[in-house]
A and B are shown apart, each in its own frame.
Chain A
Amino acid sequence: MSLFAAAAEPAFVVPTLLLDISFLALLVVVAFAIVRMRSLFGIVMLQGVYSLVSAAWFVSLDAVDVAFTEAAVGAGVSTVLMLSAMLLADRKSTPVPMSRQFGALAVVVLAGAAMLYAVGDMSAYGDVNSPANAYVGMDYIAKTAEDIKIPNVVTAVLASYRGYDTFGETVVIFSAGLGVLLLLGLNGNSGRWVARPNGQVINDRSAPSAGLAQDLRSDEQRAEAET
């Protein structure tokens, strides 16, 4: 009889609280290292590590969507963006004098205090009367299966119920990225650095697209035209 009772119990689940705590400890170490480090390249690498650790932590908190966004944006795209920004800037950061750091400290303390103040207004985890569980959220959960006919409610909300929102966000982010790329370029360094893959100079004159506007006349013809 006891055997059957044991079989009816839910599957054995390992407590994972210690994993969360060790991830948070790693995050603290990485954050302090980012603050202390002077080599900008090391800082970019550490930022990648920071987002990898936080993504693993999000998975361990069962927030897989957030974790995936963090890994894609933090470890993938923002490393590339930071590196292309480094092509414009120096390799080392110069220490800021102590007297100029108090303003930043005040801003950080104020923002942290505002966040702590806002925590008091958050509804408890699983609260029936919280906005997420009271109004339209229940409708989404109840009707997704028949309205959209897919199993994932988050996808249904993002891509169908609030599809215009998502479309607008995508357009805004795309045009912002396009504007930055048009203004700065991915290299942003065409004046200062010259790329030499295999000893071959790559600049705006030798680039493949420059051939379209190239002057095909010989030197003598050009000299004749100028005189």
Chain B
Amino acid sequence: MTPFMGYFMLGSAFLLIVSMGLMLGRLLGGPTLYDRLLAVNSFGTKTVLFLCVFCFIIDRPDGVDIALLYALMNFIATIAVLKFFNYRALDVTLSGADAEDAR
């Protein structure tokens, strides 16, 4: 990797951290809970992007796998939060034959 490319990616990693800071500002000041939810989701995406960039900075591109798994983890938390808001329960039957039987 050339020094220019290395510093370019370092700069983009810093910009990602700055945007994490902006998301943090929305998370702290966000008027409603939904702003905070979106901020957390976006923060997770920023983390995934940062991991991708960082893996190339330290010259180990196989670390992109970790970033993919982070994205999946992020999804679990978002689903749980949405269930919490919509149903006020985490263990619900959403649809399908079971829901028809219970009706």
Indicate whether A87 sits within 8 Å of B89 (C-beta atoms), given known contacts A45-B37, A75-B77, A80-B80. Answer: yes
User: Please, which residues of chain B bring their CB within 8 A of the CB of A72?
Assistant: 73
Q: How far is the CB of A7 from chain B (nearest CB, A)?
A: 13
User: Please, which residues of chain A bring their CB within 8 A of the CB of B43?
Assistant: 49, 52
A187 beta carbon closer than 8 Å to chain B: yes
User: How many chain A residues touch B (Cβ–Cβ < 8 Å)?
Assistant: 57
Scoring A residues 1 to 41 as 1 if CB is less than 8 Å from chain B, else 0, what string do you get? 00000000001111010110011001001100100010101
B57 touches A18 (CB 8 A): no
B76 touches A208 (CB 8 A): no
B27 touches A14 (CB 8 A): no
| Most central of A79, A84, A193 by chain B CB within 10 Å | A79
A206 touches B1 (CB 8 A): no
Q: With the chains together, A62 CA to B54 CA distance in Å?
A: 10
User: Please, which residues of chain A bring their CB within 8 A of the CB of B102?
Assistant: 200, 202, 206-208, 210-211
Closest to A190 in B: B89
Interface residues on B, range: 35 or more
Interface of A is mostly: helix
A186 touches B17 (CB 8 A): no
Indicate whether A14 sits within 8 Å of B9 (C-beta atoms), given known contacts A52-B43, A68-B69. Answer: yes
Indicate whether A87 sits within 8 Å of B90 (C-beta atoms), given known contacts A41-B36, A207-B102. Answer: yes
User: Please, which residues of chain A bring their CB within 8 A of the CB of B88?
Assistant: 87, 189, 193, 195
Closest to B1 in A: A12
A156 beta carbon closer than 8 Å to chain B: no
User: Please, which residues of chain B bring their CB within 8 A of the CB of A211?
Assistant: 101-102
Contact of A79 among B9, B50, B77, B93 (CB under 8 A): B77
User: Please, which residues of chain A bring their CB within 8 A of the CB of B6?
Assistant: 12-14
Contact of B47 among A12, A56, A77, A187 (CB under 8 A): A56
Q: What number of residue pairs across chains A and B have CB atoms under 8 A from each other?
A: 156
A155 beta carbon closer than 8 Å to chain B: no
Closest to A79 in B: B77
A197 beta carbon closer than 8 Å to chain B: yes
Q: With the chains together, A200 CA to B89 CA distance in Å?
A: 13
Within 8 A of A (CB), among B1-18: 1-3, 6-7, 9-10, 13-14, 17
Q: With the chains together, A46 CA to B89 CA distance in Å?
A: 21
Q: How far is the CB of A135 from chain B (nearest CB, A)?
A: 30
B66 touches A208 (CB 8 A): no
A12 touches B3 (CB 8 A): yes
Residues of B within 8 A of A (CB): 1-3, 6-7, 9-10, 13-14, 17, 20-21, 24, 27-28, 33, 36-37, 39-40, 43-44, 47, 50-51, 54, 57-59, 63, 66, 69-70, 73-74, 76-77, 80-81, 84, 86-94, 98-99, 101-103
5 closest A-B pairs by CB:
A186-B91, A195-B89, A79-B77, A14-B6, A76-B73
* Contacts A/B (CB < 8 Å), 14 sampled: A12-B3, A12-B6, A13-B6, A19-B17, A26-B17, A26-B24, A37-B28, A49-B24, A56-B51, A76-B77, A79-B77, A79-B80, A186-B89, A206-B103
